[in-house]
Amino acid sequence: MKSKFKIKGLDCANCAAELERAIQKIEGIESANISFMTERMIIEYNETRKEEIMEKVKKTAGRMPKNTGNLLISILCHFI
């Protein structure tokens, strides 16, 4: 399953890359792509674990360095 998210609060492209790498490490994530310029994230993941994975994505974002403390992720749509 693919989901598209709107991301607010990233300070730079390096922050986006760091978040992308962290999310790719979550068990059940098949792929993750984050664009700092468009403030979008697209992830592909195991649909049977959707709720668990979404919680882990939010927790991962919440552990980003201090300069991204205002990071907000909201779901735009579930299916792409």
- The better pLDDT of the pair 31, 50 is held by 31
| Average confidence (pLDDT) over 16-40 | 89
pLDDT of residue 69: 46
Per the document, the length of the chain is 80
User: Cα separation of 42 and 29, whole Å?
Assistant: 11
Domain segments of the chain as ranges? 2-77
In this model, does residue 5 exceed pLDDT 90? no
Q: What is the pTM of this model?
A: 0.74
Q: Give 31 or 54, the one with higher predicted confidence.
A: 31
What's the CATH architecture for 2-77? 2-Layer Sandwich (3.30)
